[in-house]
Amino acid sequence: MLKKLAKVHGNSFDELVKQVLKNLIENPYPINSRQEPLQKKSKLPQGLTFHKLEFKFGQGASGQIRLMYLVNTTTSVIKLVWIYTHEQFEKRPDDKDLRSVIQQILED
């Protein structure tokens, strides 16, 4: 997904994402993020929280970027879950797909 967005938006998009990730390391709960509800029948292990960060890169729906991530509140580790544009998903990716990605992350 990141490669597709980078191809469309160019090198400056890569730099923006690097800066966003660097900022997340310093503050995993910025003002433009919020805790996301989990999918039905899903539960995270204790100490993990699920968040969505919103930022803009350009105009229109394709410039509204969303980054979903997990935070381990015990170890302060951030795991990236999904990055997408508002144009790709108006709200968020399908719950089944999100559940699958989160499960893979938890197994690693």
**CB contact at 8 A, 68 and 92:** yes
Global pTM reads 0.82
Give the domain range for residue 44: 2-107
pLDDT at 89: 83
Domain total in the chain: 1
Segment 73-96 mean pLDDT: 87
Three-class DSSP category at 100: helix
CATH number for position 71: 3.30.2310
Residues 5-60 pLDDT 10s: 556 556 677 788 888 889 988 999 999 999 988 877 778 889 999 999 988 766 65
pLDDT at 58: 64
Three-class DSSP category at 72: strand
- Helices 11-26 and 2-9 sit at what angle, rounded to 10 degrees? 130
pLDDT at 60: 57
For 93, the token pair is 């990716």
